[in-house]
């Protein structure tokens, strides 16, 4: 009996030691310089400058725009060379050529870029230089804050092939206090360096940790000492790294995408036994449905949807040059993701289901952000910089102890059950199975997203019980 008690104490002490040690693990990083040439001896210019998205006839029809660098949009659209899709192929071979011609015709003849530029400029844009490169961001303050309260600072980070524009339907739901029982947020939406209107790094090695460090510097430059984060896609990793770098600065981390960064024993056991003993792992019927199709189907689905990733994680500059030259190629490459990543079933539709969830105006506005800034190559390089480290990246081994909320959308690319989320995010405050929505959830279902951000933040702030 004494031996058993002693053994239990030793094992318990070892577990406690390992848990406490992991709690003390903090991701470390060093300042970088991503501008061209050597770092400036005089120090960095930390001024904040207003920025506006602009357009003109010259931008669209001649070669004088500084943003486009002599890329003539309309001329290039007119010179595109159509190629027929196979009969009855829908979106199963990629973007259907017949429907692409309809999208291109709308883009060329009906899409009003000036109107969309006005929409982009409805929120204040700024730029500031951090670690040698210009960082673009939106900073949206609430028009009204209830007396005796203050706005909750929130940084929201996009991914690929999205942009800050993904959050345009979500921002007013968080900053306008239509419900007096809700919190009101002060929102910052940066463009990841190399995306949108943020300057691209000029040197190799700019990964998610570098982006996280820069965004911490941005928020502190804006006067915030603590703040919440929200993200999906690459933003998931950037904001996760922010929580790992400065766990006391990030008050709460809200995600709608969280693939396992480093598979562990509990994940392996759940995959082996979860189908037969679902309650043992807390699996729901939906978990079973998403996690346990036949192995052949899992492999085929992975191959169908990850080809782009292999290209961008190895030779992004090669395919990028073609997309940077062809607006039609760029649109096909980006918009195909807004079809199949919103729902796999959309592959079987002639129009890819694109306008079932989004408008062509919104989809083409996102494409135009890539086109006018010429950022497709630099945005794709982010894959190479991050995947180059593989599973040995330091952040993959460090748990997150910042309060975390997870919105689980049913049509997400990879289903992550509660057990797997908790393996990385040890202080999981909310896990919400959503009624509908896919990968671009903030753009597709802004109301559902806003409600979940509110619920999570209220719990962390102590406004409601967990």
Lowest pLDDT segment from 61-65, 100-104, 157-161, 262-266: 61-65
Q: Which pLDDT does position 261 carry in this prediction?
A: 67
List the 227-231 sheet strands across, edge first.
48-51, 125-130, 133-140, 185-190, 152-157, 227-231, 250-255, 404-408, 428-433
What's the CA gap between 305 and 301, in Å, rounded?
6
Report whether pLDDT(465) > 90. Answer: no
How high does pLDDT run on average in the chain?
A: 89
What's the mean pLDDT in 193-215? 98
**394 vs 290, residue with greater confidence:** 394
Catalytic residue among 227, 383, 395, 452: 383
Q: Which pLDDT does position 332 carry in this prediction?
A: 98
Catalytic residue among 72, 233, 362, 452: 233
Those residues whose C-beta lies under 8 Å from the C-beta of residue 342, and which sit 6 or more positions away, are 353, 357, 358, 411, 438, 439, 440, 444
Residues of the chain above pLDDT 70, percent = 88
What's the CA gap between 438 and 344, in Å, rounded?
9
What's the CA gap between 224 and 299, in Å, rounded?
45
Q: Which pLDDT does position 56 carry in this prediction?
A: 62
What's the CA gap between 231 and 160, in Å, rounded?
12
Tens of pLDDT along 365-391? 999 999 999 999 999 999 999 998 766
> Is the distance from CB of 229 to CB of 156 less than 8 angstroms?
yes
Catalytic residue among 125, 370, 439, 452: 439
Tens of pLDDT along 60-110? 444 334 344 335 899 999 999 999 999 999 999 999 999 999 999 999 999
Known catalytic residue at 233: yes
Domains of the chain (ranges; CATH) run: 59-116+314-385 (no CATH), 123-296+388-460 (3.40.50.1820)
Q: Which pLDDT does position 303 carry in this prediction?
A: 80
């Amino acid at each position: 009996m004494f031996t058993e008690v002693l053994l239990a104490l030793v094992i318990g002490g070892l577990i406690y030691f390992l848990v406490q040690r992991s709690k003390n693990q903090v991701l470390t990083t060093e300042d970088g310089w991503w501008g061209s040439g050597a770092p400036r001896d005089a120090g960095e210019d930390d001024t904040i400058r207003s920025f506006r998205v602009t357009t003109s006839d010259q931008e669209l029809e001649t070669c004088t725009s500084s943003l486009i660098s002599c890329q003539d949009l309309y001329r290039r659209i007119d010179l595109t060379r159509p190629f027929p899709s196979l009969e009855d192929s829908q979106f199963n071979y990629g973007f259907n050529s017949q429907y692409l011609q309809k999208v291109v015709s709308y883009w060329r003849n009906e899409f009003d870029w000036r109107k969309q530029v006005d929409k982009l400029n409805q929120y204040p844009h700024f730029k500031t230089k951090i670690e040698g490169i210009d960082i673009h961001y939106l900073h949206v303050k609430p028009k009204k804050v209830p007396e005796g309260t203050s706005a909750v600072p929130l940084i929201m980070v996009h991914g690929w092939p999205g942009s800050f524009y993904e959050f345009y339907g979500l921002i007013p739901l968080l900053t306008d206090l239509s419900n007096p029982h809700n919190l009101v947020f002060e929102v910052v939406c940066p463009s990841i360096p190399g995306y949108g209107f943020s300057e691209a790094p000029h040197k190799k090695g700019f990964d998610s940790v570098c982006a996280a460090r820069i965004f911490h510097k941005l928020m502190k430059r804006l006067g915030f000492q603590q703040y919440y984060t929200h993200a999906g896609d690459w933003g998931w990793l950037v904001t996760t790294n922010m929580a790992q770098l400065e766990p006391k600065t990030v008050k709460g981390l809200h995600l709608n995408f969280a693939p396992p960064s480093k598979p562990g024993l509990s994940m392996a056991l759940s995959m082996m036994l979860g189908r037969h003993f679902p309650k043992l792992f807390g699996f729901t019927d939906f978990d079973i449905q998403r996690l346990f199709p036949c192995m052949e189907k899992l492999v085929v689905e992975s191959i169908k949807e990850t080809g782009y990733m292999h290209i961008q994680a190895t030779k992004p500059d090669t395919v990028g040059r073609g997309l940077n030259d062809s607006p039609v190629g760029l649109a096909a490459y980006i918009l195909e993701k807004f079809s199949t990543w919103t729902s796999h079933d959309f592959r079987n539709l002639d129009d890819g289901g694109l306008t079932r969830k989004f408008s062509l105006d919104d989809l083409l506005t996102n494409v135009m952000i890539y086109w006018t800034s010429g950022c497709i190559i630099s945005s794709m390089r982010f894959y190479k910089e991050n995947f180059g480290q593989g599973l040995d990246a330091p952040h993959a081994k460090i748990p997150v102890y910042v309060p975390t909320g997870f919105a689980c959308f049913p049509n997400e690319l990879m289903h992550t059950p509660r057990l797997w989320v908790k393996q990385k995010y040890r202080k999981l405050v909310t896990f919400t199975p959503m009624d509908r929505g896919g990968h671009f959830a903030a753009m597709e279902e802004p109301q559902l997203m806003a409600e979940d951000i509110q619920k999570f933040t209220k719990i962390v702030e102590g406004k409601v019980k967990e």
